[in-house]
Structure 1
């Protein structure tokens, strides 16, 4: 496994009479911008070992620039720190001790090297190992019996006075609810790449003590991430042989699942029989306390009627289900059968995502919605969600996140009525999207937006009106919302001068009291991607009379624009002069304010209502509190509406 820490333990130099060789890993993080993160059908061997976290993965750069998407790479550099072992016959015995630059007097932290300049030494290739010249690669160095640490001495360390007895160390006396989160911080949910082992470093904790063994098992098995089918088979075999492990599992996460990691064709995948409807059902039966099931389009063929029956009816503790992008014929047929199930009065599911399940019949939604009395998160973007399904949500629900984007079968009158009168959204909404693609469908007209804006609660933090028809009269209705909103996506029909009024009071307004009582906005992100190059007047936007791009428009940090404006903005000297830059990812582009050190630390973007995401402008609502990546990251930040 690629080491996850840059700390290299100190090794004392070996005795001159007993030369040894040692190799220590020195991992060096390297960040590179992602360019088309989806895996191709064939991957080179270098690509397989490059450290890619997973296909379509989304990570934030460690720089001070927001909305920068990268893929982390880890390069392991092996440093030879001591001379070869005594079994290797060399042409020279001259060696040189190099003290560390930071502690030149130290004899502990330095390294022994062969004196390359010494007479007779011609490099590592001249070392004979069992009659052969070796040392041309890491494998050759292994033949020299190079070890990872100095050989252990035979003398046992003296027992220190006051040393705790086994099982009574301070860390072992911590309660499991404290010890568990500590170990959770060491767990790597997403592997460095699709086939590399992960969490190998935690294996030593399993052998430390009974207390640490229990806490580590809990950390390793509580959240299971499946990047490919071989990992799924390995996990299934473990819980089949040790069924107690299955009772620990709380999350099954297939969001990083990549079917092309090990197999190039569907025929190869089918013959292995690793992940099938039968094995998936067996897995669910062995994890009776499962709380979160996260799927996506690459496993939709493995979700059949029996799997759905198990998920909805036989896992009473299941609270989160995500079927993002599942739209295969097999999945459609399985979901179409659920109206025939013998449903209980209510389900425990509180977070449900059918994001971009584009071909599901409306009867599926009308069957599920009345059963979700504890609903808090609902994402049905791009589906055949109907007015009947929306109004059938139980009054006991308390919805905080609602995504109705691109639901063409919804009528604006019912949507506004639901948001205005339904108890499920009364004073609880935090994230709301009623966005649409104006090129194909428009949900809200000017009158609908006028009726919607006054009824929105003060709890709202993210609002998307993308694709709606708007005019300048909506600015006064939006101004109160900008005092608590952090994300705002505007519809069509506004001018730059209208949008600018959200950030400053009207100078020519006769109401002087408004200027005196003016409350600064809280917007961090604004979406103007509905506006083309002709509609978004850059000469006005970048002029001295506008405040959007000025420094005092902070905390505004990100302005999304149409993707076809990226090349034009990247060459704009005015944008750079104002302290902004432009970045893009997939089919989206943003203008991002450059962070100045004198402004203090940059806002990381992490919010509790974003459930682990740190970027601005999510297209998809997350259903679990987890690091964003895999296909979920692609749907959230890479794709269009």
Structure 2
């Protein structure tokens, strides 16, 4: 949930005016999908579709890098208890038992209920109307009335002279911006778990007063998560009937979307036509103030040329777009077709992710990047971006997050020149230049010698994974470790070389000035996954003369290792003796320092530059402040690069 970027609605009716024009109670049913509950949700996807959804979410536990990974998005596991967000009626205090008559034991006509209390789901005989009147009262009612036949007269409550009149309470007088921030804290950005209902407090607030109703609608409709096509259909139906609701929407999030949740085959999904290019285009037309559009590979075929043209040219306030993993032929053709359009000189987009859009041609980047003068977040991992396209980024951009990992068309000289001389990257906070050394190399020893000294002090996360490093680079990296929190190292270093990042060198002459003037490092995460099980010297890493695993290497908390080391480390008693544990997710594994309660509360890992993620070692740059989950969680924390 993006609480930091919310702002009052500008250029459209106020929330009070919006509320007055809404039809009767449209909002609670947005989160309730009882009528659309699928008859069979256990069917497996057909062979023509992707084999798994691979939803990944961070887990709040005593140590970092602990995830839940499922084949189906947790937002899609709907049940009657989950989707009903309104509180259920109070249950009767006593259970019932039917006593059959002695003479006719098989009869359900004669006999009686004992005790005479309502059965499960039945709220008393008085609910049975006879010609519009209540015919009788049940035992439960009599018990509540202390065994009296007539309903007691409700005492007249005296009005408290200090009680404010309707609409004049203190909370209702707060400015809309502040009231919205308060209600945002009630929004649960967690998936339903089959037991607890979601956002019950918000449902109650809708019935409190007009002022709170208006502010609550803003909280409900500001960020819309679409886990499957029926939720999208219901949402589209609501904003079609009440177009004022569409003006509230700021984010459309398809990162949890799973097309196989409700339908087992692609033909069934095509027949329902819940989410199609036409309905998606209609949705974008009804959400004119959209700021963030989060897509992924499961809706790539719905992103046709008209939808892309609307996103880039028709939404003036759109700031963040994420096309993570979209690489189908239809998506590629749609993008190529809009290149022939008349593009404006500048676009409003400031955060763009084309992470793993591997099929897009270089012409897309050469057309798009020169028009992003507001750019702050750019993720081009695995794409065909060229040196010329990179240099074409406007100089007035202020890029803080840049991911160029596995961009095989970029050359080392061009990247170094861009980072050294382009004014748009002087305030970088996250930089990833990682590659898979088995298939590609971007930076060799000489390139790193030129690159490391020019990196800005604003940097908090740096990935040099896959580069060819030498022991001489440790002296160049040491100044960076005083402000870096994440560092991914390249190949060919020894454990003794890496250890020098955490302790000063011993002076042979006995001069201890360097040790006295030593500034402690700030590293929380160290990536050593470039080293295979045969290359990583575990004996030295866990040895007595190495400081990396010792307690005084704090604040170092997470060390990433190659996943083939996980079985060995999980069985090793030395890991636990040194105060560490091992965890893994997908194709990644980590050594995680165990938290000592005597050291105070554990660092949650939340940082402003992570935009909602808690754990360390993101492979993908987020474009919206939100909790990590769904396909984005898989790309961030489950895959190597």
User: Normalising TM by the smaller chain, what interval?
Assistant: 0.7 to 0.9
Q: Does 1:83 align with 2:62?
A: no
SS state at 1:58 partner: strand
5+ unaligned residues in a row in structure 2: which ranges? Answer: 1-39, 44-51, 83-87, 128-139, 146-151
Alpha-carbon spacing, 1:158–1:620, altered in 2? closer, same or farther (3 Å): same
Is the contact made by 1:195 and 1:261 (CA closer than 8 Å) also made in structure 2? no
Q: CA deviation at 1:363?
A: 0.2
Is the contact made by 2:247 and 2:286 (CA closer than 8 Å) also made in structure 1? yes
Partner of 1:592: 592
Alpha-carbon spacing, 1:602–1:276, altered in 2? closer, same or farther (3 Å): same
Q: Does 1:308 align with 2:308?
A: yes
Deviation string 1:290-336 (CA, Å, 9 cap, x unpaired) is 10000000000000000010000010100000000001111010111
In 2, the alpha carbon distance for the partners of 1:252 and 1:575 equals 44
Q: CA deviation at 1:43?
A: 5.2
In 1, the alpha carbon distance for the partners of 2:153 and 2:286 equals 46
In 1, the alpha carbon distance for the partners of 2:210 and 2:342 equals 45
| Superposition TM-score, scaled by structure 1 size | 0.81
In 2, the alpha carbon distance for the partners of 1:249 and 1:556 equals 40
Stretch moving more, 379-388 or 65-74: 65-74
Partner of 2:382: 382
In 1, the alpha carbon distance for the partners of 2:600 and 2:196 equals 38
Pairing 1:217-616 to 2, within 5 Å after superposition: 217-426=217-426, 428-508=427-507, 510=509, 512-616=512-616
Alpha-carbon spacing, 1:186–1:134, altered in 2? closer, same or farther (3 Å): farther
With a CA cutoff of 8 Å and minimum separation of 6, indicate the structure with the bigger relative contact order. 2
Is the contact made by 2:99 and 2:113 (CA closer than 8 Å) also made in structure 1? no
| Superposition TM-score, scaled by structure 2 size | 0.81
Alpha-carbon spacing, 1:268–1:508, altered in 2? closer, same or farther (3 Å): same
Deviation string 1:345-401 (CA, Å, 9 cap, x unpaired) is 101100000000011000000000000001000000011111011000000000000
Q: Does 1:637 align with 2:616?
A: no
Q: CA deviation at 1:222?
A: 0.8
Alpha-carbon spacing, 1:331–1:141, altered in 2? closer, same or farther (3 Å): same
Alpha-carbon spacing, 1:134–1:574, altered in 2? closer, same or farther (3 Å): farther
In 1, the alpha carbon distance for the partners of 2:123 and 2:212 equals 35
Is the contact made by 1:84 and 1:144 (CA closer than 8 Å) also made in structure 2? no
Alpha-carbon spacing, 1:129–1:392, altered in 2? closer, same or farther (3 Å): farther
Q: CA deviation at 1:66?
A: 1.2
In 2, the alpha carbon distance for the partners of 1:131 and 1:193 equals 43
Q: CA deviation at 1:182?
A: 1.5
Alpha-carbon spacing, 1:557–1:168, altered in 2? closer, same or farther (3 Å): same
Deviation string 1:514-557 (CA, Å, 9 cap, x unpaired) is 21110000000000000011211111110110000000000000
In 2, the alpha carbon distance for the partners of 1:565 and 1:168 equals 64
Deviation string 1:590-635 (CA, Å, 9 cap, x unpaired) is 0000001101100000000000000100000000001110100010
| Aligned-CA RMSD value | 3.1
Q: Does 1:60 align with 2:89?
A: no
Is the contact made by 1:189 and 1:223 (CA closer than 8 Å) also made in structure 2? no
Q: Does 1:141 align with 2:108?
A: no
In 2, the alpha carbon distance for the partners of 1:438 and 1:406 equals 10
Q: CA deviation at 1:339?
A: 1.7
SS state at 2:467 partner: coil
SS state at 2:224 partner: strand
Alpha-carbon spacing, 1:142–1:505, altered in 2? closer, same or farther (3 Å): same
Deviation string 1:130-150 (CA, Å, 9 cap, x unpaired) is 768999xxx962246599999
Aligned length: 553
In 2, the alpha carbon distance for the partners of 1:534 and 1:282 equals 56
In 1, the alpha carbon distance for the partners of 2:193 and 2:268 equals 21
SS state at 1:389 partner: helix
Q: CA deviation at 1:168?
A: 1.4
Deviation string 1:224-259 (CA, Å, 9 cap, x unpaired) is 111110011111111111111111111111001111
Q: CA deviation at 1:265?
A: 1.1
In 1, the alpha carbon distance for the partners of 2:406 and 2:541 equals 29
Alpha-carbon spacing, 1:132–1:179, altered in 2? closer, same or farther (3 Å): farther
SS state at 2:120 partner: helix
Is the contact made by 1:176 and 1:215 (CA closer than 8 Å) also made in structure 2? yes
Is the contact made by 1:482 and 1:523 (CA closer than 8 Å) also made in structure 2? yes
In 2, the alpha carbon distance for the partners of 1:195 and 1:63 equals 20
In 1, the alpha carbon distance for the partners of 2:605 and 2:112 equals 56
SS state at 2:121 partner: helix
Stretch moving more, 190-199 or 404-413: 190-199
In 2, the alpha carbon distance for the partners of 1:191 and 1:129 equals 44
Partner of 1:31: none
Q: Does 1:621 align with 2:621?
A: yes
Is the contact made by 1:252 and 1:293 (CA closer than 8 Å) also made in structure 2? yes
Q: CA deviation at 1:84?
A: 4.1
Q: Does 1:168 align with 2:171?
A: no
Partner of 1:32: none
Deviation string 1:488-518 (CA, Å, 9 cap, x unpaired) is 0000010000000000001245563221110
Is the contact made by 1:61 and 1:68 (CA closer than 8 Å) also made in structure 2? yes
